[in-house]
Amino acid sequence: MRKISDTMARLATLHARHAASPGDIGAAHHLSALTAFGSNPGALQAKCYLPDSLPEGAPLVVVLHGCTQSAAGYDHHSGWSQLADEARFALLYPEQQRSNNPNLCFNWFQPADVKRDAGEALSIRQMIEAMVSAHGLDRRRIFVTGLSAGGAMAAAMLACYPDVFAGGAIIAGLAYGSAATVPEAFDRMRGHGGPSNEDLRRMLRDASEHRGPWPTISIWQGTSDQTVDASNASAIASQWWGVHQIFSVPPRSLTDGTRTRQSWHDASGEVVLEVNMIAGMGHGTPIDKNRLGAPGPYMLDVGISSTQEIARCWGIADEEKTASAGSRRTIVVHSPPPTRAQTGSKPTATPLEPSAATKRMREASPASGVEKVIEDALRAAGLMR
Burial (CB < 10 A; 0-12, 13-18, 19+), residue 350, is exposed
Q: Rounded to an integer, what distance in angstroms lies between the CA atom of residue 353 and that of residue 335?
A: 31
State the catalytic residue, choosing from 78, 81, 123, 148.
148
Rounded to the nearest 5 degrees, what angle is found at the Cα of 117, between the Cα atoms of 275 and 131? 75
Q: How many CA atoms lie within 13 A of 9 on its CB side?
A: 5
Helix segments in 141-230, DSSP class H: 149-160, 182-189, 197-206
Which strands, in side-by-side order, build the sheet including 252-256? Answer: 32-33, 45-49, 90-95, 60-64, 142-147, 167-171, 216-222, 271-278, 259-265, 252-256, 331-334
Type and span of the H or E element at 372: helix 369-380
Q: Are 124 and 42 in contact (CB under 8 A)?
A: yes
Q: How far apart are CA 229 and CA 235, in angstroms?
A: 11
**Residue 282 CB neighbours (<10 A):** 15
Whether residue 368 lies in the annotated active site: no
Q: From CA 167, how far away is CA 199, in angstroms rounded? A: 22
Taking CA atoms, 253 is separated from 132, 216, 258, in Å, by 36, 17, 13
Closest-CA residue to 272 (of 264, 282, 283, 280): 264
Q: Are 64 and 99 in contact (CB under 8 A)?
A: no
- Residue 71, beta-bridge partner list: none
Q: Catalytic residue positions?
A: 148
